[in-house]
Amino acid sequence: MNGSQSFVRLDAAVLNGGPFAVPRVYRFDHSREPSRVVVDYHGGREHFEETAETMLVDGDRLPVYRWIYRTRTAE
């Protein structure tokens, strides 16, 4: 294996799109990423789905999830 290859980390992801204040890097509670990520944010939930893309962040290759929709949290 040569030094130009890099592995995709499975405990974090880049979130692309959605509200500006949602963190761009999301850390998973486990070591395998789900096909969708849901982030609680200001009385709602931001939904992201995985893409085939990856992005290099601070030397780590992370999977990219894109924002698809928002739902409101029931009271």
User: In the prediction, which pLDDT does 34 show?
Assistant: 77
Rounded to whole angstroms, the Cα distance separating 10 from 25 reads 12
Residue 4 lies in a domain: no
Tokens read off for 47:
């939904």
Q: Would you say 61 and 8 are in contact if contact means Cβ atoms under 8 Å apart?
A: yes
Residue 23 lies in a domain: yes
Dihedrals phi, psi of 2, to nearest 5 degrees: -95, 165
Residue 64 lies in a domain: yes
Residue 1 lies in a domain: no
Residue 3 lies in a domain: no
User: In the prediction, which pLDDT does 5 show?
Assistant: 53
Say what the pTM is: 0.81
Question: Domain span at residue 57?
Answer: 12-72
Could you give the number of structural domains in the chain?
Answer: 1
Residue 62 lies in a domain: yes
Whole-number average pLDDT of the chain: 86
Residue 19 lies in a domain: yes
